[in-house]
Amino acid sequence: MAVPTTTVASESSEPGPPPPARWRRRAWSAFAARFVAAAGGGLLLYLSFPPRTLWWLALPAFALLWSALRGRGVRAGFGWGYLFGLAFLLPLLVWIGSLVGPVPWVALCVFEALFFGLAGAGMSLVSRLPAAPIWAAAVWIAGEALRARVPFGGLPWGRVGFGQPDGLLLPLASIGGEPLLSFATVLAGLALGEVVRRIVRDPGILRRRPAALATPAVILVLTLVAGPLAALVPATPGAPDRTVTIAAVQGNVPRLGLDFNAQRRAVLDNHVRVTEQLAADVAAGKRPKPDLVIWPENSSDIDPLQNPDAAAQIDRAARAINVPILVGAVLRNPDGRTTTNSALVWQPGVGVVERNDKRRLQPFGEYMPWRSFFQHFSSYVDRAGYFVPGPGTGAVDMAGVRVGIAICWEIAFDDLVEQSVEAGATVLAVPSNNATFGFSEMTYQQLAMSRVRAVEHDRPVIVATTSGVSATVTPDGTVTASTREFTPDVLVDRTTLKDTTTLATRLGAVPEWVLVALGVVAVGVGVVARRRTGTRVGKDDDG
């Protein structure tokens, strides 16, 4: 962000007239306008995310960002992009503060906003190229791709596409996954911003030079039309669809807060109790009998492989309902120190017949990178776990059903969900534990990711959480049933299993890498173009 300054003449130089007051006012007005546009755009992007259904706010959000970036230098582009990211992330991730306090929450946002700054710098470089919104949107995807991978495995939370489960463009996820959905949303917003910018600069443009609006207007219209058209592209059929009945159990936790793990036996007992009540309702004809049952992550923090009492409780519930249960369990490894976050297939009267360990762990939560270093800055470091990732394909067999498993935040990673589908999953289960964060938007943000994944891979999704929101999602992203937070409940859903293959599944990461390559090439062209026109890469121009 370039703040306007005045030049003071030295004693040896001839005195010159100071910059006119009118010029200074215009410079400060322009700076203030861009500041409001960048910060306001970030806030609008946050408001477009669930639990609100204001998905369309993402378009004016990026229109505002474009008004701040267009024609700026690299340094200014970085600054306005950074401000946009900070205004977006701080409210989006505020629930992290409920766990670890305000300092780590703010520190995380301050760091992650750097990726938005990099994107802003690149977008400013390409902003004067022909069809600039296309290249700028590709640069944005490059920034998201980087943020989703580094550091420590990345933080995909808050990618633009994850805010669009109710949006017009959602069907595009079945063509190119979440990256294409993000790209189209950003592109529509930038094209809108360019249309508005040209009209503001020349109010008579519609009357005198309507052709000057053609390129951004066509981009905007074609992008918005692409969403509904994508819904017409059929998935490649596989085995015939079949229907099974799946139950998701939400046992609830004794009380909110970090210390709920200290009451892990009560959490286990809650899930046993709710499952036994389900069995009683089935026997009374009040509910259909499920073919399999999904328990959430951390439903048994007591290792049932080493604790016979916990094993007996789980088997009691499995015998009562008389179907296999997917149990979220914390297992202690032979070294006596590390643990795994696992999903166990528990067969009634038999015990564990299959196991899937969490493949991608949450840094600063399930494990602490550079523990000895970060201990100098916060006592919360000591609360981080010693979890280790496990191998596997992310899919298990239950009652003849191939169930894909994305444990909690694994649903945010493209490759992990893709691996589950490629392993033959015909339904996706998302066992989660959101109790630590209390009543917050976090659980709705996570549910939104599950809805996007349903469309991306044409699979039904069953979300089971300890304290809510649990939900059942159809392959078109529709939530057919959901629970309230911190309320014991059961969802029983007749689920149509899908063995189709979407274009997004088939292409995998290809659309993302194509968009990243377009963004990188466009930045290179932008650098060359600015040097040829005599504008320094780091210097603002008039835009």
DSSP 352-364: EEEEEE-SS--BT
Whether 346 contacts 317, CB under 8 Å: no
Question: What's the confidence (pLDDT) of residue 13?
Answer: 47
**Three-class SS state of 480:** strand
Token reading at 200 = 């503001």
User: Interior CA angle at 181 toward 179 and 183, to 5°?
Assistant: 70
Question: What's the confidence (pLDDT) of residue 255?
Answer: 63
Token reading at 31 = 């700076």
For residue 326, the surrounding DSSP H or E stretch is: strand 325-332
Whether 494 contacts 460, CB under 8 Å: no
Question: What's the confidence (pLDDT) of residue 542?
Answer: 38
Question: What's the confidence (pLDDT) of residue 541?
Answer: 44
Give 33's contacts (C-beta < 8 A, 6+ positions apart).
67
User: Which amino acid, residue 492?
Assistant: V
Question: What's the confidence (pLDDT) of residue 260?
Answer: 47
Question: What's the confidence (pLDDT) of residue 534?
Answer: 67
Question: What is the percent of the chain where pLDDT is above 90?
Answer: 77
Question: What's the confidence (pLDDT) of residue 8?
Answer: 43
Distance CA 197, CA 542 (A): 13
Question: What's the confidence (pLDDT) of residue 391?
Answer: 81
pLDDT tens for the chain, residues 1 to 543 = 554 544 444 444 455 555 677 787 888 888 999 999 999 999 999 999 999 999 999 999 999 999 999 999 999 999 999 999 999 999 999 998 877 778 889 999 999 999 999 999 999 999 999 999 999 999 999 999 999 999 999 999 999 999 999 999 999 999 999 999 999 999 999 999 999 999 999 888 888 888 889 999 999 999 999 999 999 999 999 999 999 999 999 999 886 554 445 577 889 999 999 999 999 999 999 999 999 999 999 999 999 999 999 999 999 999 999 999 999 999 999 998 999 999 999 999 999 999 999 999 998 888 888 776 776 666 667 677 889 998 878 999 999 999 999 999 999 999 999 999 999 999 999 999 988 777 889 999 999 999 999 999 999 999 999 998 999 999 999 999 999 999 999 999 999 999 999 999 999 999 999 999 999 999 999 999 888 876 555 454 433
Distance CA 230, CA 456 (A): 11
Catalytic residue among 112, 144, 297, 366: 297
Give 3-state DSSP helix, strand, coil % of the chain, rounded to 5: 50, 15, 35
Closest CA to 157 of 214, 93, 100: 93
For residue 361, the surrounding DSSP H or E stretch is: none
Is residue 289 part of the annotated active site? The answer reads: no
Catalytic residue among 178, 408, 456, 485: 408
Residues in a beta bridge with 332: 339
Question: What's the confidence (pLDDT) of residue 37?
Answer: 97
**Overall fold of domain 242-357+399-501:** Nitrilase/N-carbamoyl-D-aminoacid amidohydrolase (3.60.110)
Domain boundaries, the chain: 21-234+508-532, 242-357+399-501
Whether 515 contacts 183, CB under 8 Å: yes
Catalytic residue among 194, 358, 410, 418: 358
Is residue 109 part of the annotated active site? The answer reads: no
Q: How crowded is the C-beta side of 127, counted as CA atoms within 13 Å?
A: 29
Is residue 408 part of the annotated active site? The answer reads: yes
Distance CA 130, CA 252 (A): 55
Closest CA to 86 of 47, 68, 49, 112: 112
